[in-house]
A and B are shown apart, each in its own frame.
Chain A
Amino acid sequence: MMAARQETVARVEAIDVDAYKYGFTTDIESEKAPKGLGEDIVRFISAKKNEPEWLTQWRLEAYRRWLTMREPDWARVHYPPIDYQDLYYYAAPKSTPGPKTLDDVDPELLRTYEKLGIPLREQEILAGVETRKIAVDAVFDSVSVATTFKEELAKAGVIFCPISEAVQTHPELVRQYLGSVVPVTDNFFATLNSAVYSDGSFVYVPKGVRCPMELSTYFRINEQKTGQFERTLIIADAGSYVSYLEGCTAPKRDENQLHAAVVELVALDDAEIKYSTVQNWYPGDSSGRGGIYNFVTKRGDCRGRNSHISWTQVETGSAITWKYPSCILRGDNSQGEFYSIAVSNGHQQVDSGTKMIHLGRNTKSRIVSKGISAGKSQNTYRGQVSAHRRADNARNYTQCDSLLIGHDCGAHTVPYIESKNTSAQFEHEATTSKISEDQLFYAMQRGLTAEEATALIVNGFVRDVLQQLPMEFAVEAQKLISISLEGSVG
């Protein structure tokens, strides 16, 4: 047993939570629904949001369906049974029944976002050093507390607002598209989300419009014993383009918190959606206590011809990640992409990947997955690529690389490939490697510390995925990966 690696392992094991810099809580009064789940709670949430009857019924149907479903157990993750009656399904900061402007937002909340480095004041952004504008929708527990740059976006015809607001202002769009990509019956967690989702972002980009700035939603779980169920719906109409980024953090809590989101993307003819996620939910402490259970359903529908959806994700947080952002390549010549970096450490369990469902002709997909496991974590890539009978000339390229740091972690690759069309061409490449003693020693002989050397090697490993992120976020992501692997910043 070589000591250099031993030392790295020790360092990486020390990474845990103490290094999690977003673990503070915000002392704010909130209004909660009574604990537990039942039709009354579903109606309560729907009433709180002042929803039309069709939506209340939609939620109730989902709830009744959910009662008949079983929690999935096929993923390579282990956790004690979740008591769904021991959770709050709705929590809203009390002072913000519906903020009209930022001035109506509780200053304590604004300070929270400041601490997180999320700019909510437009003027500050304009006057500040940042050169590119990013519109932000901030979701705190169950409600959206602020959305910036709405007016400027409205000039371009782009609708960017909390989904609860879109239900009021653009009910026809919501009704047409909600649940059209992830049906209410889809899976246990998505169905639960349909019943009790509280808020999330809504984006509509009209025909031929290139969205003038990056859109971003920032999710923050604050309350104890509160599930966060957000729902995001993005529609790119014919010939439009939008790039969207989602970020997530949560306080350190001893108990596990449930997060079950649904994201639906719809790209019509010639439209393109780029969806990037930097997920940094609280991962739990060094003994594996606490942390977010992240059970998320994300799916994009390339509904139109020549449409293009691309998922990029950097996953460093959560105790459990269960997440498979997917593309349905329905339109002819449509393209789907999935670029992923999943870092796991401590006792984290990651089961993540993608599905590329080729239905249309000449459809193309590309999957690049980089899994990095350290500590006692388990990191599984699970991917499905399939071609329908009608999907002539479907093409897929999958590259799936795993990097192990230390001896107690695991990396697993589970690809499913299914083709019902003989003209389909699917390629799959997979590698598993360790940061070698030789690489570490070489870099250290040149003057790098063990942490610097590890970060350098890991950054090399994930480079082709980082390049897919918008530049500002690529820098953030790089930092985040270093932090979650080193514990040097706290």
Chain B
Amino acid sequence: MLEIRNLHVSVGDREILKGLTLTVKDGEVAAIMGPNGTGKSTLSYVIAGREGYEVTQGEVLINGENILDLAPHERAARGLFLAFQYPVEIPGVATMQFLKAMLNAQRRARGEPELQTPDLMKLVREAAAKLGVSQEMLRRPLNSGFSGGEKKRMEILQMALLEPSVGILDETDSGLDIDALRVVSDGVNSLRSPQRSFLVITHYQRLLDYIRPDSVHVMAQGVIQRSGGPELALELEKNGYRDYLAGEAA
């Protein structure tokens, strides 16, 4: 379960999140929609612990524990996963090597024994096959020269391997064609479970045709303006975000 309570965040002198409150229950898929530049990515970075953002007020809890004082890797070990809008290239580090480092880092943090290479390879190969990630891709340096679709599939593969309790998808649909969107969405849907919460951040309704949310939240001007069911997404698709931007223009 993810709970965000009255979150205020500033970058320099500018307040970007202005008292945002949102709860995503176990088993729930919540979608946050909103216009560009409204702080959606800021929200995902702040939850994941990226430096450079000042939290002036509020709390973020994962399964009841406030995580705001934890380093990013400690939050990850608590079961938080962020699928990046722009996955990062790490030259010279084979994808398989990265996956091993990531899995074993989290296992160590939780006091579990590390996975040995043969077990790891088996685990990764099975998960990769489901997402259409080729063996050749696993040998290549992480995200180097991957297409947009390959990068997003790699994010979902990592999420499948880490089995987080809270998954945040930041604009996962950006840069995907319909076929890639379907593969990625199927991957996410197969990970839905009663113990897992998802926060899906998107600008367009399109993604929500594939990943059906339980709740939809409109974010603008640094707060949640309105919450509803899946039908809210359709309304936004029709009317746009105009109604929520009143007062911001001036």
Chain A residues with CB under 8 Å of chain B are 2-7, 436-439, 441-450, 452, 456-457, 459-464
A443: which B residues are within 8 A, CB to CB? 90, 98, 101-102
Bound: A6/B51 CA distance, A = 10
Docked complex: B79-138 residues within 8 A CB-CB of A: 81-82, 84, 86-93, 97-98, 101-102, 105-106, 109
Are A445 and B72 neighbours in the complex by a CB distance under 8 Å?
yes
Kindly state whether residue B162 has any CB partner on chain A within 8 Å. yes
Are A446 and B76 neighbours in the complex by a CB distance under 8 Å?
yes
Chain B residues with CB under 8 Å of chain A are 48-52, 71-73, 75-77, 81-82, 84, 86-93, 97-98, 101-102, 105-106, 109, 141, 158, 162
Are B52 and A3 neighbours in the complex by a CB distance under 8 Å?
yes
Of A5, A442, A449, A463, which is within 8 A of B88 by CB? A442
A464: which B residues are within 8 A, CB to CB? 92
A438: which B residues are within 8 A, CB to CB? 86, 88
Given contacts A2-B52, A456-B98, contact A447 B88 (CB under 8 A): no
Given contacts A456-B93, A460-B141, contact A442 B102 (CB under 8 A): no
Given contacts A4-B51, A438-B88, A464-B92, contact A447 B158 (CB under 8 A): no
Are A448 and B90 neighbours in the complex by a CB distance under 8 Å?
no
Are B50 and A449 neighbours in the complex by a CB distance under 8 Å?
no
Are A448 and B105 neighbours in the complex by a CB distance under 8 Å?
yes
B93 nearest CB neighbor, chain A only? A460
Are A457 and B93 neighbours in the complex by a CB distance under 8 Å?
yes
B89: which A residues are within 8 A, CB to CB? 439
Q: Taking the nearest CB of chain B, how far is it from the CB of A372, in angstroms?
A: 12
Q: Taking the nearest CB of chain B, how far is it from the CB of A212, in angstroms?
A: 31
Are B93 and A447 neighbours in the complex by a CB distance under 8 Å?
no
> Can you list 25 contacts pairing A with B, beta carbon distance less than 8 Å?
A2-B51, A3-B51, A6-B51, A438-B88, A441-B50, A441-B51, A442-B88, A443-B98, A444-B71, A444-B73, A445-B49, A445-B72, A445-B73, A446-B73, A446-B162, A447-B73, A447-B102, A447-B109, A449-B71, A450-B71, A456-B90, A456-B97, A456-B98, A462-B92, A464-B92
B81: which A residues are within 8 A, CB to CB? 445
Bound: A452/B71 CA distance, A = 14
Given contacts A2-B51, A447-B77, A447-B106, contact A441 B72 (CB under 8 A): yes
B158: which A residues are within 8 A, CB to CB? 446
A460 nearest CB neighbor, chain B only? B92
A461 nearest CB neighbor, chain B only? B92
Are A448 and B102 neighbours in the complex by a CB distance under 8 Å?
yes
SS of A interface (majority): helix
A6: which B residues are within 8 A, CB to CB? 51
Are A444 and B52 neighbours in the complex by a CB distance under 8 Å?
no
Are A447 and B51 neighbours in the complex by a CB distance under 8 Å?
no
Bound: A452/B91 CA distance, A = 16
Residue of A444, A447, A449 with most partner-chain B CB within 10 A:
A447
Q: Taking the nearest CB of chain B, how far is it from the CB of A109, in angstroms?
A: 38
Q: Taking the nearest CB of chain B, how far is it from the CB of A454, in angstroms?
A: 12
Q: 10 nearest interchain CB pairs?
A: A460-B92, A460-B93, A3-B51, A447-B106, A444-B72, A446-B102, A4-B51, A442-B88, A447-B76, A447-B105
Bound: A7/B109 CA distance, A = 20
- Kindly list 19 other residue pairs between chains A and B, CB separation below 8 angstroms, not including A5-B51, A6-B51: A2-B51, A4-B50, A437-B51, A441-B72, A442-B90, A443-B102, A444-B49, A444-B71, A445-B72, A446-B162, A447-B76, A447-B77, A447-B106, A447-B162, A448-B105, A450-B71, A457-B90, A459-B92, A464-B92
A462 nearest CB neighbor, chain B only? B92
Q: Taking the nearest CB of chain A, how far is it from the CB of B60, in angstroms?
A: 15
Are B52 and A456 neighbours in the complex by a CB distance under 8 Å?
no
Are A449 and B92 neighbours in the complex by a CB distance under 8 Å?
no
Q: Taking the nearest CB of chain A, how far is it from the CB of B40, in angstroms?
A: 17
Q: Taking the nearest CB of chain A, how far is it from the CB of B86, in angstroms?
A: 8
Are B93 and A446 neighbours in the complex by a CB distance under 8 Å?
no
Are A449 and B73 neighbours in the complex by a CB distance under 8 Å?
yes
Of A7, A437, A448, which is within 8 A of B101 by CB? A448
Given contacts A3-B52, A448-B101, contact A460 B90 (CB under 8 A): yes
Given contacts A445-B76, A447-B102, contact A460 B91 (CB under 8 A): yes
B168 nearest CB neighbor, chain A only? A445
Of A3, A439, A449, which is within 8 A of B105 by CB? A449
Q: Taking the nearest CB of chain A, how far is it from the CB of B76, in angstroms?
A: 4
B161 nearest CB neighbor, chain A only? A446
B88 nearest CB neighbor, chain A only? A442
B84 nearest CB neighbor, chain A only? A442
